[in-house]
Chains A and B, each alone.
Chain A
Amino acid sequence: MTRYAMVIDLNTCVGCNACMAACAMENQTPVWKGEWRTYVHEKEIGVAEQVRRRFFPRLCNHCSNPPCLTVCPTGATYQRADGIVLIDPERCMGCRACAMACPYDARYEVTYDDIKLGKEFYGDLQRTSPSMDKCSFCAHRLDKGMKPACVETCVGSARQFGDLDDPSDPVTQLVASGIAQPLMPHLGTRPNVYYIDDLKRKG
């Protein structure tokens, strides 16, 4: 079996936003309204000379126990055997319950207007119906043996992608070592995106 996971090292993310651009072009996200499948959150921490800027890339955590999946009334949100949580846009009625349930703020809406604008912006738009949307770990690329677009493009190698069911995978070893931690594990969502903390870094 395969269980995909991502490790993000906050020490090496330089905030270049190349991951956002690569993802937007790959997945045709509605960037004109500031919605992204992956987003690098910037925050200034500390005061005076101690101040530092932290870049925090975030995306769908592809939880093993995803609350967005259980609340979905139509079955549009589903999980593949490899753990990737996906949305079927044809089946999604857009009630937004998944966005309410997601503790990681990973979902956004794609409306009829966005489809119209998307056709002008991207030319050949793959999407035909409005729905909720989120990161898919670039499942279409994984199926072709490629890595997700954000991982491929990351200049600082801050994003690493791997298979947690493969003991020799560097991602599995990082997670097993405890250096990489999931976000808000107390919620019981069992996220598959892990973070290496950046407390020592000064901007």
Chain B
Amino acid sequence: MDTMTYTTQHIWTWWIALYLFFGGLGAATLTITFLTDMYCRPHRKLVLWGALSGVVLLAISSAVLFGHLLHHTAVIYVLNPLVFILKPDSWIAWGTQFILWMMVWGMLYALPYMRETPLFQRLPLVRSVLQWPLVEWLSSCCMKRRRIVGWLASINGIGTAVYTGLLIQSFPAVALWHNPGVPLLFTVSAFSTAFAYLLLLLNVFITDENDDDLRHRYERFDVILIATELVILFSFFNYTLSGSESGYRSAQLLWGDMGWLIGFIGFGLIVPFLLELRGVTKGWGSRFPTVAAAVLVLIGGYMLRHYFMYAGVYAYPW
């Protein structure tokens, strides 16, 4: 039993990377916008963008996963809220419930804003739904208990972002995945990409000058998160260099790949970090550098998960 076989996997590939990326991005976006609305200042447009983006992105990511299931009707077992009691040790069970309840509380939090938004009043079906007595009653309840609803959505959003890392961490055979750094890395990356996404919105779609303070604040947060991500990745580099053959082979796959090194580390993290750092310290004359940085961070967010899935090395003793 002295020979080993080392191999990467072809079971969870790009579609899981997409699931993890959209899941983390949508959840963190919803959380950030709700916390902004609760603790910075009420911001109807931001909440609507955040809630709808969160729900749409989570719906896309869940649809990608659902589409790849072997037995679609059995999904009912994991949608059942009692899954917490039946399978408390499974992160997919937790993640599915986080996603579901984040969508429910997220839509409830956004409901009062939807009712006072002209766009929704102009959409025939949506307008009639918003005028249902039950929806009116729900909306007034959510207004009265705004912070409770906001925190319920945010807690589930944070849970979803952390879950994306815990899911990968639960596979013990692969050194790159089975370590405490993965949930941390994926959570930091989820919030970084969410800030980038919101910076994109605030510079392209919600171009109100009164939001300049939010733009600066988000940019500052993103700079800190990108720096944190670089530190975590450096720790991963050191961790994988020795300790296990599985980890070492993952290190060779990642750090010997120009797509990872120049594409992700270079253009997905360092370049946007420098662009945003300059924006925070000295400012830019135009919005283009901030928008470019945001787009690069978003592309980098997907690349991180893509490379992570493909670089996990199994060590088989045969």
Contacts from A to B (Cβ < 8 Å): 10, 41, 43, 45, 54, 56, 58, 67, 70-76, 89-97, 99-105, 109-112, 129-132, 181, 183-184, 187-189, 195, 197-199
Q: Cβ of A189 and Cβ of B172 under 8 Å apart? A: yes
Min CB gap A175→B, angstroms: 15
Min CB gap B74→A, angstroms: 4
Q: Which residues on the B side are within 8 Å of A104 (C-beta)?
A: 316
Given contacts A187-B173, A189-B172, contact A74 B74 (CB under 8 A): yes
Q: Which residues on the A side are within 8 Å of B86 (C-beta)?
A: 75
Q: Which residues on the A side are within 8 Å of B74 (C-beta)?
A: 74, 76, 90-94, 129, 131
Q: Which residues on the A side are within 8 Å of B318 (C-beta)?
A: 41, 43, 56, 58
User: CA–CA, A23 to B173, complex, Å?
Assistant: 26
Instruction: Pick the 10 closest A-B CB pairs, nearest first.
Output: A94-B70, A103-B173, A73-B92, A74-B77, A93-B74, A56-B318, A73-B93, A130-B70, A73-B90, A70-B89
Count of chain B residues with Cβ under 8 Å from any Cβ of A? 35
Q: Cβ of A181 and Cβ of B1 under 8 Å apart? A: yes
Q: Which residues on the B side are within 8 Å of A103 (C-beta)?
A: 172-173, 314, 316
Give chain A's interface secondary structure class. Answer: loop
Most buried by A among B5, B78, B90, B315: B90
Instruction: Report if B72 contacts A (CB, 8 A).
Output: yes
Q: Please, could you name 24 A-B residue pairs with CB atoms under 8 Å apart, sorted by A? A: A10-B1, A41-B318, A56-B318, A70-B90, A73-B78, A73-B96, A74-B74, A75-B77, A92-B70, A93-B71, A93-B75, A94-B71, A95-B65, A95-B69, A96-B12, A97-B90, A100-B9, A100-B12, A101-B171, A101-B173, A132-B70, A184-B315, A187-B172, A199-B2
Q: Cβ of A188 and Cβ of B1 under 8 Å apart? A: no
Chain B, Cβ-Cβ closest to A88: B74
